[in-house]
Structure 1
Amino acid sequence: MKIEANDKDIRDVFKLGYFKIPRFQRPYSWEKDEVENFWNDITKNNSPEYFIGSMVVYQDSKPYFGIVDGQQRLTTITLVLSAIRDAFIHLNQDDLAKGVHQYVEQPNIDNKNEFVLHSETSFPYLQNHIQSYKEQKIDLEVGSEEQKLKNAFELITKKLTEFAGLQEVTSLQLELMPTDKDPLSLLKRLRDKILSLKLVFIQLDNEDDAYLIFETLNARGRDLKSSDLVKNLLLKTIKNNSVSIDRPKQAWVSLVNKFDDIGETDALDNFILHYWISKQSYCTEKELFSKVKEHITSMEKADALLSDFENYGKLYCKMLHPNFFDWDNNEGSQSIKDSLIALNRFKVKQQSSFVLAALAAYEKKLFSLKVLKLTLKRVEYFHFIFNAITSQRSSGHIVSTYSKNAIKLSKANTSDEANIVVKELFKTLSSKIPHYEEFEVKFLELIFLKSRTKDRNIIKYCLNRLLPNTTSCFDIRSDALTIEHIVPQSDTNLSPELIGSIGNLLLVDQSTNAEKLRDKCLNDKLDYLRKSNYPLENNFLTDQFDGKAGSIEKRTKEIAKYLFENSRVS
């Protein structure tokens, strides 16, 4: 591997040729703090040659370079130069604007203008909205990958406006201002300071060396995620054979977009881990990349893995955000959706590999809708007891058990084989269920008051399970229901712990809560609910319930017993 390293300033770098952000690189990722820190560094430093680190590139074909390391800084510098150019345009200084613009866009050997920095992931927003000179700009919708670029450019423009005092300046006022403190002089000094920024320019011979350096930089503490490394490995291994479209890269972008669409951009690493331990082998997040790397021994394996990512990615997104997707309006589909929502509310991920495998088994027709519904319901009920109520310590054994059975399920070829795997899993999980006494103690500690809302979602889940599938008194949809205190929170005869306990709570629709039951005494509330066909018996609200401490405690324990008995895995 041949490596050349030289000191250069930004002026020299931008005149070397054209720089592209390769297919294995992630999009622009700097947030507000990083942009502000960079701005403060370059504006407040008085040194004529300020060092900003290194830049690693490889020669593609002269005069084109691929960027291995430094794309965040180079992109941000391009944003700053574009903002300075726009400021000169604002001041009607077209010559100065065009002078700066030559570092953003310059003619190639065919005398066709070409942007110095090429970025495929942010195309066409970066090119049309930021890099382009004024007459070329068009209105564009900002995608999720471009949003950080937009935020950074707007922040830099705001900072530049304040720095140079451009808020109300016109060209006439400019002529009357003293030199050296006028906006024009400030902009020129900033321009010169940007172009004088120093870096170590490290050049490699070819793209294969670039992939190797990319991994090495990560191993030495660079801030790269597992997904960055897996993307790098896949795109390195799968050679693109099309001139018009980079199919492997488009497949990866399609995967990223799935997570962007549901607002879970950061979930990609979790997906890859849960996919891996559901199909290949159990490992930790730290071991993941090395496992993937061992697996990718050919282009065919890399291609198959990328294809699998796309198929399983859709299922994982459905698992993360069930409400984002359309579901058939039947009891089975709605039950599956409810189980996925419940698991998200419990904030557990131990089961993710198996749930992903179960959804895939249904897609492959190894599970019927009924079997999938019962399987997910059992997983939901296990974690209701194990995590949501008794808060058992996270166990590697639970995760590895799920992984082992997920892998078996992924390899199953018939419905019988798939059903055997499910039975084995729940036999293991049933041995992990805490005793009822522990469950009851923790259940009695659940509280919902205006001042104590931490348990709200779990309490709503518990109360919702007491309701029948249909009722004539109100809208049964759990997201439309609110928690009502039977004995009001203003009552001073009971302790706050009793008033906020499940024994004093029930679910009603918002209208009933706010209008029909408001300010009513206990007997009037129960009478109204009885006449409205509210399922009082399902909610353990009998005629003996008097709203006193004894009846509230009794009802709490009855609900606890019912939920525990109807949640045990078998």
Structure 2
Amino acid sequence: MQTDLFTVSKLFTERLFRIPDYQRGYAWREKQLKDYWNDLEQLEDKSHYLGVLTLEDVPEEVVKEWKDDKWIIDSKGYTPFYIVDGQQRLTTTIILIQAITEVIKEGEKINYTSKCEIKRRFLWDSKDDGISRSYIFGYEKDNPSYEFLKTKIFNESSDVSFPSQDTIYTNNLSFAKEFFLKKIVDLDIRSLEEIYKKVTQQLLFNIYAISREIDVFVAFETMNNRGKPLSHLELLKNRLIYLSTKFQVEDYEKDNLRAVVNESWKNIYHYLGKNKDNPLDDDFFLRNHFLLYFGKSLTDEDDPDYRGYLRMRRSYAHDYKDYLLENHFTTRNIEGVGKSEGKAIKTKDIYDYSKSLKDSVEIWYQILNPSDSTFSRVEKEWLDKINRLGIEFVAPLIMVFYQKVRKNALKIEFLKALEKLIFLNELVRYRHYMTFDPVLFLEMSSKLSSGKSSAEDIVKELTVAFESGRDSKEIWKIIQAEFIRSGYYGWRGIRYFLYEYDLNLKSQSKTQREKIDWDVYIDTPEDYHTVEHIYPQRARRECWTKLYAAYTNKERSVLRHSLGNLVPLSRPKNSSFSNKCFQDKVGDISTKVGFRYGSYAENEIATYEKWGAVEILQRGVSLLDFMDDRWSLKIGDRGKKVKMLGLEFVEEKEGITKKRRK
């Protein structure tokens, strides 16, 4: 075991580094990169310890297949190593060195070293300056990051005819390179030399050469719990590759199984990272696929090992990983413990499971990114709505439904029923008052997956759950009481509701232009807002105080947070906008700022001459009329809606009689 400290420069002396297939890809994002850069900036004359770099000798039978590297190993005496732990830090260091070579001008040297010399030392070397390249650091060839690192990070040409495949990990590689280029592109030569010196001479690794007696797969799971934790999907890949080596089968069977696992994970990470602006969470996919794949087992009453999962406990989100990594995909299930009961894992079990993950991830991606899907226009529309409303509880059910059902009409009926039920639940502020238990969706998923319920049964069950909640007087008492007590502004469903109202106004307009960007609408910077109080929260100007002089402080507070006083903005506005007088908020031709130039709902507000308590009441009733019609809620007549708004006092003070009300 070697325990000396090595600078990066010494580390890259007659060594080749490869990231093996059981390793995850490059996982560092902005936080880790900022920490790394801050450590560099704070270095002066001292060194900085980056940690242990755990290496494994590459077996000779594997090295024989590395045709591109044979010359540098045989002629220059380079020793090839697998990186078991420390690849994130080492990859980051190499990306920074590459970025430095890109900002060095032609013919320029830093620390008396040319760009070509830096590349030969840390990135690649060539045989007799020919076309052959041996990469000093990189991935194994079947890893999608191999071609990406070579072509997109090192800017080298590729010999393959197909483009590199993007994944979450390749996106992270690009992000890291862009991050460092922004940091160094404007540095003068002296500052650049200082950075290069720090990276190559002052960053220290402690090398630990792992012995053959230690199981490298087990070491990987243990060591990689440091730093940025491995996801369970990443751990599972390592586990399945590990199990592939334990079967008592021919070597070609083991190799084929390992290749299937690698190919499946390559596909999985391609789709999880396909939307670069919104990459999908590893474990969110894994635990939802779990319901799809193990649905039949989960509903098997005769199997005591699975009975706890059948109950779909509230800890389900944590249980799935224990089941996969502690109960199911384990060496004891291969080595004989379960064989007497006929439950031993076979090569086909891992093959089928890996293929199922691979086949499911594309549908999963499309469910969460409907605009980039092959679904029909109407399906996209309703999936968009469910994604906006909140898909977490219902994702497993949608995934199973889309795996099982081909008829568009039935899928649309299912999505509509699901959206209505979720919205009804959003009207209830607190989870213990919910119109149904979220575990209901997990049970539905399991029954549909196992064949104990048909797709038609699921749609009927969703409809019955909705109608039961909608027709419950007790539920409506709770909803009304909570809105009167806390107002509508704090309702978690307010943005979705107002957005849907704006879409309704758009459908009635002469234009089909989108005026609200949902992603901007729900993610606003500090001191800005996208839901506006028309009658301001801080209404200190005379234009407001005179108009609401007849109302008490408590009544004014109710009016401010009432449904009719809230409008969705087409773009975030500074909080100072909210305090202006009504006519200033409406805007004029000279400024081209205000409600008349905003969302469809803002345009509607701009048609009012003034904005007093009566207008808030009237618009509130109108919005509840829309809610009633859009979600088939049966709230009741106008009187019940005024009561639900908590604005009976406005009718009394403004002398609105029952006759005028009608």
- TM-score normalised over the length of structure 1: 0.71
Task: Please tell me whether residue 198 in structure 1 is matched to residue 214 in structure 2.
Answer: no
Secondary structure, aligned partner of 1:56: strand
1:311 equivalent among 327, 345, 359? 359
Partner of 1:346: 389
Q: How many Å apart are 1:271 and its aligned residue?
A: 1.2
Distance across 2 between alignment mates of 1:549 and 1:74: 61
1:295 equivalent among 328, 340, 346? 328
Secondary structure, aligned partner of 1:199: strand
Structure 1 range deviating more: 73-82 or 105-114: 105-114
Rate the CA distance shift 1:405–1:147 in 2: closer, same or farther, 3 A.
closer
2:400 equivalent among 352, 357, 361? 357
Q: How many Å apart are 1:8 and its aligned residue?
A: 4.2
Contact 1:278 1:403 in 2 (8 A): no
Secondary structure, aligned partner of 2:84: strand
Q: How many Å apart are 1:67 and its aligned residue?
A: 1.4
Amino acid in structure 1 at the alignment position of 2:633: N
2:146 equivalent among 98, 123, 128? 123
Rate the CA distance shift 1:157–1:378 in 2: closer, same or farther, 3 A.
closer
Q: How many Å apart are 1:267 and its aligned residue?
A: 2.2
Secondary structure, aligned partner of 1:286: helix
2:451 equivalent among 398, 412, 416? 412
Distance across 2 between alignment mates of 1:246 and 1:431: 51
Rate the CA distance shift 1:264–1:240 in 2: closer, same or farther, 3 A.
farther
Distance across 2 between alignment mates of 1:187 and 1:476: 50
Distance across 2 between alignment mates of 1:475 and 1:286: 44
Rate the CA distance shift 1:567–1:57 in 2: closer, same or farther, 3 A.
farther
Distance across 2 between alignment mates of 1:388 and 1:285: 25
Task: Please tell me whether residue 105 in structure 1 is matched to residue 124 in structure 2.
Answer: yes
Secondary structure, aligned partner of 2:33: helix
Distance across 2 between alignment mates of 1:60 and 1:473: 68
Contact 1:55 1:70 in 2 (8 A): yes
Task: Please tell me whether residue 24 in structure 1 is matched to residue 38 in structure 2.
Answer: no
Amino acid in structure 1 at the alignment position of 2:138: H
Partner of 2:3: 6
2:480 equivalent among 440, 443, 467? 440
Contact 1:8 1:200 in 2 (8 A): yes
Contact 2:5 2:205 in 1 (8 A): yes
Partner of 1:233: 239
Q: After superposition, where does 1:419-430 map in structure 2 within 5 Å?
A: 419-423=456-460
Contact 2:292 2:446 in 1 (8 A): yes
Secondary structure, aligned partner of 1:435: helix
Partner of 1:173: none
How big is each residue's C-alpha offset from its partner over 1:330-373, in whole Å with a ceiling of 9 and x where there is no partner? xxxx1x4443223222235112211221222213xxxx444333
Rate the CA distance shift 1:444–1:343 in 2: closer, same or farther, 3 A.
farther
Q: How many Å apart are 1:274 and its aligned residue?
A: 1.4
1:268 equivalent among 258, 282, 287? 282
Secondary structure, aligned partner of 2:437: helix
Partner of 2:335: none
Distance across 2 between alignment mates of 1:484 and 1:395: 25
Amino acid in structure 2 at the alignment position of 1:66: Y
Amino acid in structure 2 at the alignment position of 1:276: F
Secondary structure, aligned partner of 2:215: helix
How big is each residue's C-alpha offset from its partner over 1:284-336, in whole Å with a ceiling of 9 and x where there is no partner? 3433333223334333222222222233222222322223335435xxxx1x4
Task: Please tell me whether residue 96 in structure 1 is matched to residue 96 in structure 2.
Answer: no
Q: How many Å apart are 1:403 and its aligned residue?
A: 1.6
How many pairs does the alignment contain?
Answer: 505
Q: How many Å apart are 1:156 and its aligned residue?
A: 3.5
Q: How many Å apart are 1:276 and its aligned residue?
A: 1.0
Distance across 1 between alignment mates of 2:506 and 2:105: 65
Secondary structure, aligned partner of 1:6: coil
Q: How many Å apart are 1:517 and its aligned residue?
A: 7.3
2:417 equivalent among 358, 378, 400? 378
Task: Report the identity percentage.
Answer: 16
Secondary structure, aligned partner of 2:21: coil
Q: CA RMSD in A?
A: 4.9
Q: How many Å apart are 1:500 and its aligned residue?
A: 6.7
Contact 1:84 1:191 in 2 (8 A): no
Partner of 1:529: none
Rate the CA distance shift 1:90–1:33 in 2: closer, same or farther, 3 A.
farther
Rate the CA distance shift 1:233–1:431 in 2: closer, same or farther, 3 A.
farther
Rate the CA distance shift 1:340–1:446 in 2: closer, same or farther, 3 A.
farther
Distance across 2 between alignment mates of 1:460 and 1:387: 13
Distance across 2 between alignment mates of 1:5 and 1:337: 57
Rate the CA distance shift 1:285–1:68 in 2: closer, same or farther, 3 A.
farther
Distance across 2 between alignment mates of 1:85 and 1:257: 29
Contact 1:279 1:407 in 2 (8 A): no
Secondary structure, aligned partner of 2:496: helix
Contact 1:121 1:145 in 2 (8 A): no
2:217 equivalent among 211, 216, 234? 211
Contact 1:31 1:148 in 2 (8 A): yes
Contact 1:83 1:156 in 2 (8 A): yes
Q: How many Å apart are 1:183 and its aligned residue?
A: 6.6
Q: How many Å apart are 1:437 and its aligned residue?
A: 1.7
Secondary structure, aligned partner of 2:209: strand
Amino acid in structure 2 at the alignment position of 1:360: Q
Any gaps of 5 or more consecutive residues in structure 1?
Answer: 167-181, 526-545
Contact 1:484 1:513 in 2 (8 A): no
Partner of 1:457: 495
Secondary structure, aligned partner of 2:316: coil
Partner of 2:583: none
Contact 2:397 2:442 in 1 (8 A): yes
Partner of 1:541: none
Rate the CA distance shift 1:289–1:220 in 2: closer, same or farther, 3 A.
farther
Distance across 2 between alignment mates of 1:516 and 1:425: 35
Contact 1:104 1:115 in 2 (8 A): yes
Any gaps of 5 or more consecutive residues in structure 2?
Answer: 61-78, 245-252, 299-308, 310-314, 330-344, 522-529, 537-542, 569-594, 636-662
Q: How many Å apart are 1:273 and its aligned residue?
A: 0.9
Distance across 2 between alignment mates of 1:557 and 1:161: 56
How big is each residue's C-alpha offset from its partner over 1:226-253, in whole Å with a ceiling of 9 and x where there is no partner? 121122233444577479x955423322
Secondary structure, aligned partner of 1:265: coil
Q: How many Å apart are 1:155 and its aligned residue?
A: 4.0
Amino acid in structure 2 at the alignment position of 1:419: E
Structure 1 range deviating more: 501-510 or 86-95: 501-510
Contact 1:20 1:118 in 2 (8 A): yes
Secondary structure, aligned partner of 2:98: helix
Rate the CA distance shift 1:309–1:548 in 2: closer, same or farther, 3 A.
same
Rate the CA distance shift 1:430–1:305 in 2: closer, same or farther, 3 A.
farther
Amino acid in structure 2 at the alignment position of 1:295: H
Q: How many Å apart are 1:69 and its aligned residue?
A: 1.0
Amino acid in structure 2 at the alignment position of 1:408: K
Secondary structure, aligned partner of 1:398: coil
Structure 1 range deviating more: 379-388 or 419-428: 419-428
Rate the CA distance shift 1:440–1:387 in 2: closer, same or farther, 3 A.
same
Rate the CA distance shift 1:187–1:350 in 2: closer, same or farther, 3 A.
closer
Contact 2:260 2:354 in 1 (8 A): no
